[in-house]
């Protein structure tokens, strides 16, 4: 698994805490890429006119083509965005919905989108159907069936996580997309946790829409993501923040090429980020995927055994991130904190690092991650610390 190398890998990152086990929320960028971003910031600032009018667009086109190749898409079908939130907003604002149309989501999706969905329903009359996927879950066929069972003849779109935010399950997304397509339903895949986490071949997957965040598992600087739109679904897709060339009669990629003045240095870092992180492991990104998954499985087994916690899903539904339910949901928080944040603050005060906890189906879950800078010793320390307070 290469655990003997994790300390040398960890030397590429700088953290303010003794443990960092929540790569899933905001990611973490290695020092050498942060230094590169600072260099790009200085270059951009030294001659803004030249960059924004001439040099910048050409350099970003090179970046976009390299990013497209990394995730297995035709370059004309992918655009660069700041994050999945922007990508989803662009798609939802571009599509037309009539009162009574339905959008299917699951109860494992990203919680902050609930307000977005409620507002869309208020403005358009669209209804949101929620497929309730069990947790714990025993097999991927159960997930597919739960999604299909919630469809009706008014369902126009499904918004499905590739790797779920709440529960860290790796959904059988290609099979879900295929099954929904056979029912005439397009899928927007929320792949926020996917790029750099699992290998992607998006043209082969065939989703109508797919978006991911490069600042998470790919380890790019923040404000970097992408949106893929299948060629037959591009006609009406306009960026949520529209400006020059953001019109349906322009090529799809051109519509997202200028959305006003913004700092684009994070995007410029993408080629080096993919190359630098990939170079850390002797097998490249394939080795990183396998190593991080193997560490997550070992860490989950360790916590389960030492703390008496039930493993909620088979290894086939786990990537490099996992959840474990460890107590019933608290009813109230302390000091004005939401109940799920109270434990995080308690860990920080006592041990100097936080623990990502969240509420789901009446249980408090811990969500942990495994990246190159982590080793099994991190989870052994976590077990020791948790035993003193649970």
The enclosing domain of 163 has a CATH number of 3.40.640.10
Q: What is the CATH number of the domain that holds 382?
A: 3.90.1150.170
Domain for residue 48, yes or no? yes
Q: Are 293 and 191 in the same domain? A: no
Residues 6+ apart with CB under 8 A from 355: 21, 22, 343, 344, 347, 366, 368, 382
Q: Are 264 and 295 in the same domain? A: no
Q: Are 72 and 16 in the same domain? A: no
Threshold 0.75, pTM exceeds: yes
- pLDDT attached to residue 133: 97
Q: Over 90: is that where the pLDDT of 27 sits?
A: yes
pLDDT above 70 coverage of the chain, percent: 96
Q: In the chain, how many domains are there?
A: 2
Q: Could you give phi then psi for residue 276, rounded to 5 degrees?
A: -65, -50
Domain for residue 27, yes or no? no
Which of 130, 135, 205 has the alpha carbon at shortest distance from 168?
Answer: 135
Range of the structural domain that residue 368 is part of = 3-20+284-389
Domain for residue 210, yes or no? yes
Look at residues 273, 294, 327 and tell me which one is the last residue of a structural domain: 273
Domain for residue 97, yes or no? yes
Look at residues 273, 295, 312 and tell me which one is the last residue of a structural domain: 273
Cis peptide before 136 (omega within 30 of 0): yes
Mean pLDDT score, 63-84: 97
Question: pLDDT per residue over 206-260, tens digit each?
Answer: 999 999 999 999 999 999 999 999 999 999 999 999 888 889 999 999 999 988 8
Q: Are 114 and 215 in the same domain? A: yes
Q: Are 15 and 74 in the same domain? A: no
pLDDT band at 94 (very low <50, low <70, confident <90, very high): very high
Domain for residue 172, yes or no? yes
Q: Over 80: is that where the pLDDT of 339 sits?
A: no
Question: pLDDT per residue over 194-207, tens digit each?
Answer: 999 999 999 999 99
Q: Are 266 and 348 in the same domain? A: no
């Amino acid at each position: 698994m290469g655990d003997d190398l994790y300390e040398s890998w960890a030397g590429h990152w700088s953290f303010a805490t003794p443990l960092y086990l929540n790569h899933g929320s905001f990611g973490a960028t290695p020092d050498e890429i942060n230094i590169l971003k600072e260099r790009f910031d200085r270059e951009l600032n030294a001659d803004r006119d030249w960059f924004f009018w001439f040099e910048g667009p050409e350099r970003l086109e090179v970046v976009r083509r390299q990013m497209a190749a990394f995730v297995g898409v035709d370059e004309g079908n992918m655009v660069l965005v700041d994050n999945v939130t922007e990508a989803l907003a662009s798609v939802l604002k571009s599509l037309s919905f009539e009162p009574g149309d339905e959008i299917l989501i699951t109860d494992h999706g990203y919680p902050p989108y609930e307000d977005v969905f409620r507002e869309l329903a208020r403005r358009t009359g669209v209804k949101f159907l929620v497929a309730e996927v069990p947790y714990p879950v025993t097999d991927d066929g159960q997930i597919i069936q739960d999604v299909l069972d919630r469809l009706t003849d008014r369902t126009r779109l499904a918004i499905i996580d590739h790797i779920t935010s709440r529960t860290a399950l790796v959904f059988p997304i290609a099979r879900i997309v295929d099954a929904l397509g056979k029912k005439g339903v397009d899928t927007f895949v929320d792949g926020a946790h996917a790029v750099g986490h699992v290998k992607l071949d998006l043209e082969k997957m065939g989703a109508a829409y797919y978006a991911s965040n490069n600042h998470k598992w790919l380890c790019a600087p923040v404000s970097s993501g992408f949106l893929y739109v299948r060629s037959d679904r591009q006609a009406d897709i306009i960026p949520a923040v529209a400006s020059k060339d953001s019109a349906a009669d322009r090529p799809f990629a051109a519509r997202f090429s200028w959305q006003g003045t913004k700092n684009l240095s994070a995007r410029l870092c993408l080629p080096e980020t993919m190359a630098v992180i990939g170079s850390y492991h002797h097998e490249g990104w394939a080795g990183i995927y396998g190593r991080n998954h193997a560490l997550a499985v070992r860490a989950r087994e360790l916590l389960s055994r030492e703390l008496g916690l039930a493993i909620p899903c088979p290894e086939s539904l786990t990537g490099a991130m996992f959840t474990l339910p460890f107590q019933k949901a608290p009813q109230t928080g302390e000091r004005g904190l939401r109940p799920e944040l109270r434990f995080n603050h308690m860990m920080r005060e006592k041990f100097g690092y936080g623990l990502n906890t969240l509420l789901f189906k009446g249980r408090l879950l811990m969500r942990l991650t495994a990246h190159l800078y982590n080793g099994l010793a991190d989870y052994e320390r976590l077990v020791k610390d948790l035993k003193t307070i649970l």
